[in-house]
Structure 1
Amino acid sequence: MKYPNDSLKCIQNAWYKQLVNFRASYMPETQLTADWKLRAIGDAIKACPSRMMDDSEAMLSEYRKSQKHDEVSKVLLPVMLTATALTDQPPDVNQLLPVPDFIETVIDEKRVKIRLVPTTLRAQIAFFATNPNDLRSVIGQFCAHMSSSDNRRFNVPFQQWNDHIVNSTFTVFENELFPSPVPSEAINLSISTVDIQLVGYTPNVIGFGGPFDQNTGNGYEPDGSATEQPAINDKVIVQADQYTSLDHQRVKGDRETGEITVERIDD
């Protein structure tokens, strides 16, 4: 069974694309930053596991392991590394417009219902350079790039059942775009990080034909209404009395044979 793509992975892919877009617009000011701009994407911008967030040394170590060079210790600098993780706390009520639990709409000529889940993701970039001038050049332009209203909002395509795509917009809150220098024991290494908060709605869709669209059970239809089922009564009446103005009769039934007998009762 093929499930929809993990929502976190969808957001991470869209975020990485934003970093690639920034590098495309970056204007080099030194030879080393020009080399970074022209380097292969995988050697210039690298994603790291979320557990390495706030640990730039671990991120750099992970990057070293991913490099395939003759010299194991050789690292191409400058380099931008990023780590992302969903937060347990939902967005503030003022950060997103309120929406109902389900929204009915038509996608790809299918009538569907979308549940929009408020989502907050924390992203962090760490830039490593051999001198502070290269560091300031890239980090400064990055903060300016992400502060632009055209770049703060970006589309995240979420893949649903049967490869249907539902797009949602995520927003970078520019009031948190502050670079933070990271102390390093290495004399020729300059490091700075930038923390970013991404906020948006993660869509969950009913109606694309997934295996759970109809198999709701528990007496409910997929739209949440109660399933109307005929009452089931497995009880059998084996004795009943009937009265008339003239007499009193007792009707008996045999559960096993189904035979019915009627006898008169003298009161």
Structure 2
Amino acid sequence: MNGDFFPLKQAFSEYMARFYAGLHPDTKAMQEYTSRGIARSIIWAPDRMVDAAEDMLASYRKNASGPAGANSLLPVIIVAMAKDYIPTGGDWGGRQVSHRLVSLVEGGSVYGYRQAMGDIRTQVVIIAAESATARSLAAQLALFVAEIQNRRFYCAHEWGQYQLQMPCMLENPDLFFSPVPTEQPNITLLAADITLKATFPYLDAPKAGEPNDGTANNPPGYPLLAQVDVFDHAVNVPSSSTQDGTVWSPTGY
């Protein structure tokens, strides 16, 4: 159990992998970069570190995966997410969903469901030995993010036997890369901020020993407490009932 934010990190890694796969090598450094493999080309930092650019670069170079026990290969892209959590504002539709009963598949078990949407501050830092390569990576990432099909991606949240594909949208598809000051010679650092509008599902089911629907589903769902049929004179058909026994009518009665 890695927490509900792990699928977001995993999905954004896959998002960046798609970017890496489509890079155009227009400098000698880019030719090496595109052939190096993503595992040594795009890495994660523990948290947002743009204010500690020197520490970020030093930490990367001490990584034992590089030549002679140190990773000196440039360029490299470092990705980080902020430690804080900011709920999405009320001007963004569907941001928070209070508790309700839902069926995840047609005719399946019924579970409790809540939904939160948060603004996840993410940062992408490009480190290169010369500015031409740094600008090339920045330009190509900005182009990738701006393309319509790349303005959102999906995070796979697993719960019991189910996998929920939850959307994550980029708040602004326009990236602005700013130079990061560094005292190290012949190094260019460019940083851009990305806010991810991530949706997080929270589900619940009967606990051990509580009544359930008796299915083999994992987990079993809530039992149907009452089946209520009310004759709807407006359309001359029975209306439907909800799982908790309250009546829902197609005409709003």
Structure 1 position 157, deviation (Å): 0.9
Q: Which amino acid aligns with 1:197?
A: T
Structure 1 position 62, deviation (Å): 2.4
Q: Which amino acid aligns with 2:152?
A: R
CA displacement 1:199-250 (0-9 Å, x = unmatched): 132000123x6x57959xxxxxx98xxxxxxxxxxxxxxxxxxxxxxxxxxx
Q: Which moved more, 1:93-102 or 1:56-65?
A: 93-102
Contact 2:86 2:120 in 1 (8 A): no
How many residue pairs align between the two structures? 211
User: In structure 2, do the counterparts of structure 1 residues 72 and 204 end up closer, same or farther at CA, with 3 Å as the change threshold?
Assistant: same
Gaps of 5+ in 2: 212-220, 223-253
CA distance in 1, matches of 2:162, 2:154: 15
Give matches, 1:174-185, under 5 Å: 174=172, 177-185=175-183
User: In structure 2, do the counterparts of structure 1 residues 191 and 154 end up closer, same or farther at CA, with 3 Å as the change threshold?
Assistant: same
Alignment correspondent of 1:238 = none
CA distance in 2, matches of 1:164, 1:61: 42
Q: Which amino acid aligns with 1:206?
A: D
Alignment correspondent of 1:136 = 135
User: In structure 2, do the counterparts of structure 1 residues 51 and 123 end up closer, same or farther at CA, with 3 Å as the change threshold?
Assistant: closer
1:64 equivalenced with 2:61 (yes/no): yes
Correspondent of 1:34 among 20, 31, 34: 31
CA distance in 2, matches of 1:178, 1:119: 22
Gaps of 5+ in 1: 216-221, 224-267
Higher Cα Rg: structure 1 or 2? 1
1:189 equivalenced with 2:193 (yes/no): no
Runs of 4+ in structure 1 off by over 6 angstroms are: none
SS in structure 2 of the partner of residue 166 of structure 1 = strand
TM-score, length basis structure 1: 0.71
Identity %: 23
Provide the aligned C-alpha RMSD in A: 2.5
Structure 1 position 70, deviation (Å): 4.8
CA distance in 2, matches of 1:10, 1:212: 27
SS in structure 1 of the partner of residue 33 of structure 2 = helix
User: In structure 2, do the counterparts of structure 1 residues 27 and 63 end up closer, same or farther at CA, with 3 Å as the change threshold?
Assistant: same
User: In structure 2, do the counterparts of structure 1 residues 190 and 73 end up closer, same or farther at CA, with 3 Å as the change threshold?
Assistant: same
